[in-house]
Amino acid sequence: MIPKSIMLKSKTIAIANQKGGVGKTTTAINLASALGILNHKVLLIDADPQANTSLGLGTKIPCEKSLVHLFDEKSSALQQITQTHSPNLDLIPSSVNLADLEINNINKNVFKLKKALDGIKNKYDYLIIDCSPSLGYISVNSFIAADSILIPIQCEYLAMEGLNKLLKTIKEIKVNFNKELEIEGFLITMYDKRLKHNQHIINELKAYFDDLVFKTVIKRNVSLSEAPSFGTNIFDYKIESIGSEDYLNLSREIITNRNKMKNTTKTLGKTIQQIMNDNKETNVVETSIRKNHLKHFEPFDVKKKNFNKLKNLTKEEVIKRLGLVYNDIHSNIWMYRVSERATVFRKNFLYLTFINNRVHSIELRRFRRG
């Protein structure tokens, strides 16, 4: 544990990724809780209109206290703080009314959240912001208020989808509004060691983003998805789980990195400017990930007419017919094992691509071993 005597000034970390289902809210809840368990005073700010962070910590929505009140400047941040059942962890809950701010304040003051939080930062060691998935007014406020941005990336072959737009937004915020803003790191989530391409995705991300990719990897763990349903974090739900261990390791890594940097002007890994100025664009990395994932596959036509009946079905309708299995409900690419004529050397897979929650395309592939 890091002694309080050598703690730095308060640090604000925004957690952001416009791609859904990457573990953004799970990371916000459990990273904040882990830091609190390690004896750091933490304020968690739910800046997502969906309020999943608030609900995931057992807060009833709508709540009398809410982040939305900080934007009308009639209330202080201190007045909107609620206590949680987790040690050393306070919360500013979200509200569905945040969505109205996105529409009505698109060109208005983008420093409101920073101004509100500056008044209470010295009461906390860490402020963690769960950002809205849209790159609108609320997210811009969050990025301006933050010292750094943590970007969770799901370990799948569409991992880089939309990341270039997010990085460009971060760069624009840094250049125009918050010159101290940096990337805290890229966090690999939902890692499954049984899937060979998962390690390739990690290798590609590390090759491109250098030490900005956290050493800690969040492994796929059912307890992490179950805990919010009970209004609690992974530590209160199942302390002995893999998810609990992973988020404690992440919090220790963040603390260690922070203390390493206190006496140097260097940054870990690449800076935002280096990433954006690099000859390689992030879509090149995305293409590499996709190609490697598919290079051991070949098309086949086993009962394709039957699978075509899945086209235009919703995710809920697909689940009724095929089940969810290991697919993430938020992902737009689902994969199913097709058992017919499969052997240890040849395994058949069905890929479903969703657009607007409906099956858009169907692809059958056979995995060749070796």
Decide if pLDDT at 278 tops 60: no
Structure-model confidence comparison of residues 120 and 64, the more confident one:
120
pLDDT confidence of residue 198: 85
pLDDT confidence of residue 108: 77
What is the value of pTM for the model shown? 0.74
The pLDDT tens digits for 309-331 are: 888 888 888 887 887 766 777 77
63-78 core/surface letters (b: 16 or more CB in 10 A; e: else):
bebbbbbbbeeeeebe
pLDDT confidence of residue 134: 85
Decide if pLDDT at 117 tops 70: yes
Decide if pLDDT at 284 tops 70: no
**CATH number of 4-288: 1.10.287.3510, 3.40.50.300, 2.40.50.100, 3.90.76.10?**
3.40.50.300
Give 166-230 as a DSSP string: HHHHHHHHHHHT-TT-EEEEEEEESB-TTSHHHHHHHHHHHHHHGGGB-S---B--HHHHHGGGG
The pLDDT tens digits for 65-111 are: 989 888 877 778 888 999 999 999 999 999 888 888 877 765 578 99
Average pLDDT over residues 286-292: 54
The pLDDT tens digits for 7-35 are: 568 999 999 998 888 999 999 999 999 99
Domain boundaries, the chain: 4-288, 297-368
The pLDDT tens digits for 237-269 are: 999 999 999 999 999 999 998 887 765 545 555
